[in-house]
Amino acid sequence: MEEPIQNLAEAWLNQDQDDSTRKEIQDLVAGHNEVELEKRLRKRIAFGTAGLRAQMKAGNAYMNSYTVLQASQGLASYIHEQQDASRGLNERVKVVVGYDGRHQSEKFARLAAGAFVAKGLQVLWYGQLVHTPLVPFAVSHLKAAAGVMVTASHNPKDYNGYKVYWANGCQITAPHDTGISAAIDRETVIVSWDPTIGEHSPFVASIFDETVEAYHQSLQSLVLPISEGEKELFAYTPMHGVGLPYMRRTVELLGFELATMKMVEAQAHPDPEFPTVPFPNPEEHGALDLAIQEADKCECTIVLANDPDADRFSLAEKLRDGGWQQLTGNQIGMLFASYVLETYTGEKSKLVMLASTVSSRMLAIMAKKEGFLFKETLTGFKWLGNVAQTLKAEGYEPAYAYEEAIGFMFPTVVWDKDGIAAAAVFLAARQKWRQEGLTPWQKLQELYKAYGYFEDANTYFITPSPDVTEQVFKDIRASGPNGGVPEMIGKHKILRWRDLTVGFDSAGEDGKPDLPVDASAQMITCELKNVLFTARGSGTEPKIKLYIEGTGNSSAEAQQSANEVLQDLVWEWFKPEYGLKLAGS
């Protein structure tokens, strides 16, 4: 029998020492709003491979001071459990803490630091706004046991998150995610609500200056020296986030004059309200409009953008006809792959590049033709980073990994996506292509001629609830003959069916898939004659995402194939009765 909601509310009020969130629950209790109290208190915010991410509200289900403290204490306990018993009694285990410019990010980070100190850890503290990759960088550079970054990346302004990295500098995977989650469940009493511990504790060390300098040195070693000569102008936006100071330093280290970078002033500095964009994500339609306007004023032909925590990177180019082309994550990903390949000086058979299963197949074609190893992983840099490390341990040289959602990883810098490192590589590559008489867009056309034409029709549906998402996928699996999986999409025969939720692959040995199975995550991939597509439920947003890639003898033919399948899927799989909302509609 469920505990009465009034008891859960009373328990919350007995332990929450944050005046603002206490008042939220008090007001709901006074108003007898049991429906809202159920939403807020019945279920605890889930800790998974992405850590925590949710709207900032009072209650167990959301991001607030109490859930941050509970997560921090659980993480600290788990870290202690995992440490070698031979560690010296007086030697404190180290954990890195960073935060971005969102509402309450600094407050949550300070509370987390206090919890770590109270639980016997040493905190390596940035103490000012940093971009997310600096946390995993510091974990590796300073040999910490873990790292925490308080950020919600490109989510709306009322969200925040708590991202965890393990000692290898990668995002956590199993069994650490379930182990930390279980440890959090055991934390029922908060040991410290003091957000000022870092200001006077001997167990908090400032790492900003040393680590940021080391990070930028690693960026310099990532790219070939840029030759002397004129450096072309470009416009840059950090999308109201933290990227600007790190981008400025990067530009200087690459030998560019700061005047070469034309700032989008209205978006230049951290602002948690994100006032000029409905969604602070460079992928979203219209997000680069201000940057393009600035570029036109300054007669720039390139726009570069980071998301608010600067771990993602996007770009747009002004074409010769005067129109602007924003490149997709797959297109940028292939440009980077070509630069990495052309500048690689080692044994090509040892070179490895990776991409997630929802990213373009073009990288696999390049690898087969050029003689390096390509590795496919599940979605997310927790997989790309950890798989890359496994390959390195086997004697390979992982040099690059990407995901179509404008995430790009360069392992010599950090084992995670990094929008500043991506910008550095792009600026170096652009100068190289310029010497070849090519713009980035023209370089991409050369790659298409060499490896084939690939175009995507990626989109997403906003879904009313996780239950609806689950029902949609359940119905898809039973929409074929005799209640089985479908055999056709429109007029296209399904040549391969892979379902990583139930663990089936029609092309796999004994029907087993070639990638890990996760019953808690919805993910179906289908291969047609000229199209490959994946439908999956998002792990961090109320969305069903579609990744559709067509191939053909031209970009137009490839795009037409992808668009046709998108239309068929909207008609056959994602019907109006589910209450889904298609992006842009």
Helix (H), strand (E) at residue 431: helix 419-435
Exposed / middle / buried, residue 438 (Cβ in 10 Å: 0-12, 13-18, 19+): middle
Both structure tokens of 280: 């602070």
- CA atoms of 64 and 18, how far apart (whole Å): 9
- CA atoms of 108 and 127, how far apart (whole Å): 12
Identify whether the C-beta of residue 386 lies closer than 8 Å to the C-beta of residue 340.
no
Cα-based angle 283, 285, 290 (whole degrees, multiple of 5): 95
Asked if the bond preceding 308 is cis, omega within 30° of 0, the reply is no
- CA atoms of 380 and 405, how far apart (whole Å): 9
- CA atoms of 100 and 241, how far apart (whole Å): 8
Both structure tokens of 182: 């279980």
User: What is the three-class DSSP state of 35?
Assistant: helix
- Residue 499: which residues within 8 A CB-CB, separation 6 or more? 477, 485, 505, 513, 523, 524, 525
Both structure tokens of 265: 């002033």
The two beta strands, 543-552 and 531-537, are: antiparallel
Catalytically active residues are: 153
Query: Dihedral of CA 435/247/214/351: which sign?
Result: negative
User: What is the three-class DSSP state of 374?
Assistant: strand
Identify whether the C-beta of residue 467 lies closer than 8 Å to the C-beta of residue 549.
no
- Residue 551: which residues within 8 A CB-CB, separation 6 or more? 361, 452, 453, 454, 530, 531, 558, 561
